């Protein structure tokens, strides 16, 4: 049990004890003297004051406990998000690395195609490779909060 929860349970126990004491004082009917009745009424008034103070304290502790739970839950969510961002960063870096390698391979292929295309055309009467204007590779970038995947033309 958490410290705050233990304090709340202790206050509840005190309230229950005071309520029992109030009930027993109320059940007693002072038959003897008015002095004893006055003493009983004074004791009952003090018990009711203590009961009101403990009830207020209980409300305050419950509010603190509730705020603590919300804060704890928010921190847990925030930690989960940060762990996810770290994992995503690793994958984004790998995608960018692979995209760089792929772009180099495409440029090398284009260089070969440019070199042999005239001869290839003479032999086969068609182009060797087409579509180099529309080849793109993915690239992941971030402005810090929002991540974007864009296609870069090679």
pLDDT tens readout for residues 71-120: 888 888 899 999 999 999 999 999 999 999 999 999 999 999 999 999 99
Under DSSP, the state recorded for 133 is G
pLDDT at 119: 93
Widest Cα–Cα separation across the chain: 130
Alpha-carbon distances of 127 from 105, 106, 119, rounded to whole Å: 20, 17, 10
Give the whole-angstrom CA distance, residue 61 versus residue 67. Answer: 10
pLDDT at 115: 94
Alpha-carbon distances of 145 from 27, 64, 82, 85, rounded to whole Å: 67, 32, 11, 10
Mean pLDDT of the chain: 85
**Which of 31, 56, 55, 30 shows the shortest CA–CA distance to 42?**
30
Q: Where are the domains of the chain?
A: 3-153
The pTM (predicted TM-score) of the whole model is 0.56
pLDDT at 101: 95
């Amino acid at each position: 049990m958490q410290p705050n929860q233990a304090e709340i349970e202790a206050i509840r126990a005190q309230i229950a004890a005071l309520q029992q004491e109030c009930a027993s004082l109320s059940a007693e009917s002072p038959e003897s003297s008015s002095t004893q009745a006055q003493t009983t009424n004074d004791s009952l008034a003090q018990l009711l004051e203590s009961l009101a103070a403990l009830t207020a304290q209980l409300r305050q502790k419950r509010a603190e406990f509730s705020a603590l739970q919300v804060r704890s839950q928010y921190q847990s969510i925030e930690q989960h998000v940060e762990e996810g961002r770290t994992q995503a960063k690793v994958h984004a870096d790998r995608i960018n690395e692979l995209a760089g390698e792929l772009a180099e391979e495409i440029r090398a292929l284009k260089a070969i195609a440019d070199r042999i295309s005239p001869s290839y055309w003479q032999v086969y009467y068609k182009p060797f490779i087409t579509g180099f204007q529309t080849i793109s590779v993915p690239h992941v970038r971030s402005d810090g909060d929002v991540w974007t995947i864009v296609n870069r033309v090679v």
